[in-house]
Amino acid sequence: MWAIHAIVGICLAIGALFGVQQAASVGMPVPIPTNAASSTADTLSTAPVTVLAFGDLMLDRTVRTHLEQAGDSYPFQQIQSVLARRDIVVANAEGVFGDRESISQTDFSTLRFTFATSTLMTLHALGFTELSQANNHTFDFGAEALAESELAIHAAGITPFGNFQNNDPSSPEQNIRGQRIAFVGYNEFSHSNLDRVLVAISSAKAQGDFVIVYPHWGVEYNLGTTSEQVVLGHQFVDAGADVIFGSHPHVVEPVEIYQGKPIFYSLGNFVFDQSFSQETSEGLAVDLSLSATSATYTLRPFTITRAAPSLMDATSTRAFLAKHNVPTSILLPR
């Protein structure tokens, strides 16, 4: 069951402002506030910045076979219209892009993932703007392959951020209609350079950026969270993170509101070939609408069939969110 980790202290005053306090313990499910911003929110004359965030994107193994048979756009056919209407589309790229032959496509027991560079042009055309390389699979073929992957992503017009070693965790900020957005990646499994990640977060925040952190952490197929995830998530928020979108467990994990900032501990799979369970065949996209004074997070669950995600219909979405005790949207002040 997808628990929501938060203890919310609501302070009703003029303008309907509220405060969110730190969770006192992990594991206590309470509703997340859905009407948390003041009535003066969204006063910008320009449109809010929109960000669409996904979890694990894996384009090797049987997914690669699907691409070779049906084309590089195959997994995204059911969600193209959603991708096309966002300023920023981001996911965790669970491997490196390059021209080397696949190993896992013929040997499923070898978990070393490489993606054809041709897929990058398709991703760019579909609207992807950022890809995290901060995960345990970006060093499958060594430092040289990771460097080549970063160059290939850049060449396709997409911005990579983070890496296996956490020694270069952030990317240049995006400036969209006057709003600065920064991305910082973190790979728990390199067991190194956490200090650099925290500095990158605090530096971006000091420049006035809205800071999005993409940690690769936790335990695979764990429907809860680890104590390490919670400690790290709180450290990231304390350093200046505005939202955290986690990856690696391959299942959707709990959501916590900490110090008024949401931590999505795992968005689950996005494009993946793990069809052996319902939990690995479902994922969560988060639609962020960002104004000068508020951040609205709309949760969009989807199912994955033959490695292709498809958004749940309205009835299934309501049932999914109700089952996991989460709202359709979360509105928080900045």
pLDDT of residue 285: 97
Q: Which residues of the chain have pLDDT under 70?
A: 1-45
Packing angle, helices 194-206 and 227-239, rounded to 10 = 30
Residue 147 falls inside a structural domain: yes
Distance (Å, whole) CA 334 – CA 323: 29
pLDDT of residue 227: 98
pLDDT of residue 30: 35
Distance (Å, whole) CA 264 – CA 92: 14
Contact 130, 90 (CB under 8 A): yes
pLDDT of residue 59: 98
Residue 328 falls inside a structural domain: no
pLDDT of residue 225: 96
Which residues, in sequence order, are bridge partners of residue 256?
5, 263
- pLDDT tens for each residue of 52-86: 999 999 999 999 999 999 999 999 999 998 998 89
- pLDDT tens for each residue of 166-204: 999 998 899 999 999 999 999 999 999 999 999 999 999
What's the CATH number where 212 sits? 3.60.21.10
Contact 62, 307 (CB under 8 A): yes
Beta strand pairing status for 49-57 and 88-93? parallel
pLDDT of residue 278: 94
Per the structure, the count of domains in the chain is 1
Residue 254 falls inside a structural domain: yes
Provide the residue range defining the domain that includes 271. Answer: 47-318
Residue 9 falls inside a structural domain: no
pTM of the model: 0.86
Q: What is the DSSP letter of 47?
A: P
Residue 280 falls inside a structural domain: yes
Residue 250 falls inside a structural domain: yes
pLDDT of residue 326: 84
